[in-house]
Chain A
Amino acid sequence: MSVAAIADQAPPHISRSDRPLVALLLLPGLAAIAVTFLLPLLWLVRISFSDAAPGIVTGGSGTLVNYVKIVTDPFYWRIAWNTILLAAVVCVLATTISYPVALFLARTNSRWRGVLAALAIAPLLTSTVVRTYGWMVILSDQGVINGSLLWLGIIDAPFRLANNFTAAVIALTEILMPYAILAMLSGLGRLNSELEGAAALLGANRWKIFSRIILPLSLPGIATGALLVFVLCISSFVTPRLMGGGRVFVFGTEIYSDATATLDWTRAAALSILLLVLFSCVIFIYQRIMKSIEL
């Protein structure tokens, strides 16, 4: 789950005589990755450097024209900004709301712990599309919230909750929370009640125990949860598209419409590669953060 957690473990010792066996065991997985991921990715890179006409993927010569067009167009800079803003806001919200839940699940001795943990991640069982439509029902002008407020006479006209940036933020936050909770739970392993007892005996009250012991020890979990939410948010397109009502432009929605509507596959490919670069930057920053907080 956590990149750092995996890196923490000492590599298992593999003796020389085991190597052929290890290679054999790795082969199916490596082959699957190569065929389903690596080859298409290389293909995508190739398309992004191609000057072929829209809708055509073969032929064309190597060129930087797609990248130059994107980088020099202010529209795409706005899209990049939108994407990062959306991801950042959702990341902060989902992490903040998920942390108490994860903390509770990590610390409780209740025999319902397993059930509660399952409930917290149960939303993953339904598809993102279904949950997005669910939020549309709740947030639309005739939806549950506006309907209730109107009926109660608290407001005269419906709030604009749907088809905008706010709607995308609300839906993405809820949709990504289970991922955040899962990732955090795996990162909260270093917490134990003995440490809290030790801190209390040394004179720490509840707040000091939280701020000096629990929170610092939670940071790896929080960072992992935040990374996952951020990355999933950057690459999301269904929810921003449906909840944004065509008014929220992010990388995901733009690549989707280029690939399916305008059929500008070379631009879609170039945008995808740029998104991949953004991913790499985020992962790099995450690893730096983990290195500074991990002991």
Chain B
Amino acid sequence: MSQAFVDVRDLTKIYLGQKVASVDDVSFTLEKGKMLALLGPSGCGKTTILRMIAGLIEPSSGSIIVDGREIANVPVHRRGIGMVFQAYALFPHLSVEQNVSFGLEMRNVPRAEREQRVRQALELVKLAHLAGRRVTQLSGGQQQRIAIARSLVIEPSILLLDEPLSNLDAKLRDEMRSEIREIQSRTGTTTIFVTHDQEEALSMADCIAVMSAGRIEQIGTPQEIYDRPATRFVADFIGRGNFIDGTVVRAESGTAMVEVPGLGAIQVAHSEPVGGKVELLIRPHRIEVGLNLPTATNHFRGTVREVVYTGEMRSLTVAVGNLSMMVDSPTRGAGEIRRGDSVGLAFAADDVTVIVAKSGEEVAR
């Protein structure tokens, strides 16, 4: 089933009186049962996309096709889409049960079936025992679950989550992260969620669309996004990284040498035209560090400037030539490393991502 279930084409939103598009010609597809994260900094247009799919904001142009049906002109209450709002938007005058039951009542589901489905939905979010409570008496995490139950009970074609974890404290956030993922895979509901938290996107989504200034910068699996960022923006936004400028000095099939001023040559696993200016990305945890490392392809020596111990990891700042490199190393092995030590750094050609600067635009290879 690799056919697109959600197909968004050329979606654009220009708010009244504004010159710049908040959502600029965005297209993406999503397979049935998958979970997509719209990830980006605040104001990048991700929530606007979500609200256009929901029907709460009218698109300026473009089409939204869900399950083969164009929904851009369907009124909100006939779209059959579930949405969990950032502040949950539970009805404060209704009980937990009545909140969950609301969508079924609107669909004129008979009482007996309604009660059964409400109970199932509450069991799904593990809150069946709170059915009679007022929603104002619930904690943030419980309200979140009720909002999810209320959206899922109508068996929506797609489920939309707007910053689902932003209103929860850190511990609860981790819990709800796996909880939401589990509920999603159990019900098989095609889900789109909006977040500005890269960790949330990486850990929950099957697929991530990284957005900036109303456009999708890159769309791919979490691993693709992390390991092969398409643009400098994506590389910068997702995870930490060492960015190094250089010039291609030699190229063969599938490999190239990049000369970095003040450091030396770095071998990369991509063929690039000789003389081209490139930017290299090396993730801190891909660099091996040790007092005595065997000589490898990309091997440099440097001096430890700073050590930050975080328990599982040791974050080092190492001066190499006239560059400063971030290196994450597991605390086990590699021996004791102190400030001022002379250490060896090594990384494989595969672990270097090449971002090519091309007349203002950036293209990844």
Contact = CB atoms under 8 A, between A and B. Distances in A.
B154 A202 contact: yes
Contact of A203 (B93, B106, B134): B106
B298 to A, nearest CB: 52
B92 A295 contact: yes
A200 B77 contact: yes
B153 to A, nearest CB: 9
A198 B89 contact: yes
B83 interface: yes
B54 A203 contact: no
A217 B92 contact: yes
A203 B92 CA distance: 18
Contacts of A194: 85, 87, 89
A4 interface: no
Contacts of A30: none
B92 A197 contact: no
A192 B85 CA distance: 12
B54 A197 contact: yes
B102 A197 contact: no
A213 B106 contact: no
Given A197-B54, A197-B85, A202 B106 contact: yes
B76 interface: yes
A275 interface: no
A205 B136 CA distance: 25
B40 interface: no
Interface size bracket, A side = 20 to 34
Contacts of B107: 203
Contacts of B136: 295
Contact of A199 (B81, B82, B91): B91
Given A197-B56, A198-B83, A199-B102, A204 B93 contact: no
B130 to A, nearest CB: 15
A291 interface: no
A212 interface: yes
A201 B93 contact: no
A197 B106 contact: no
A55 interface: no
Given A202-B103, A202-B154, A208-B106, A195 B91 contact: yes
B148 to A, nearest CB: 13
Interface string B60-82: 00000000000000001111111
Nearest to B147: A198
A69 interface: no
Contacts of A200: 55-56, 76-77
Q: Among the interface residues A199, A202, A203, A216, which one has the most CB atoms of the partner chain B within 10 A?
A: A202
A201 B79 contact: yes
B232 interface: no
B203 to A, nearest CB: 27
A212 B94 CA distance: 10
B134 A202 contact: no
A288 B133 CA distance: 21
B149 to A, nearest CB: 12
B108 to A, nearest CB: 9
B46 interface: no
B102 A201 contact: no
A113 interface: no
A137 to B, nearest CB: 45
A107 interface: no
B17 to A, nearest CB: 12
A203 B83 CA distance: 12
A247 interface: no
A203 B79 CA distance: 8
A202 B150 contact: yes
Contacts of B80: 203
A203 B153 CA distance: 12
B92 A201 contact: no
Nearest to A202: B103
Nearest to A193: B56
A78 interface: no
A194 B134 CA distance: 19
A295 B134 contact: yes
B186 to A, nearest CB: 21
Contacts of A160: none
Closest 8 CB pairs of A and B: A203-B106, A202-B103, A198-B89, A200-B76, A194-B89, A216-B93, A200-B77, A197-B56
22 contacts: A192-B89, A195-B89, A195-B91, A197-B56, A197-B76, A197-B89, A198-B85, A201-B76, A201-B77, A201-B82, A201-B83, A202-B106, A203-B77, A203-B103, A203-B154, A204-B106, A205-B77, A212-B102, A213-B91, A295-B92, A295-B93, A295-B136
Given A190-B92, A200-B77, A202-B103, 9 more contacts: A200-B55, A200-B76, A201-B54, A201-B55, A202-B154, A203-B77, A213-B91, A293-B93, A295-B93
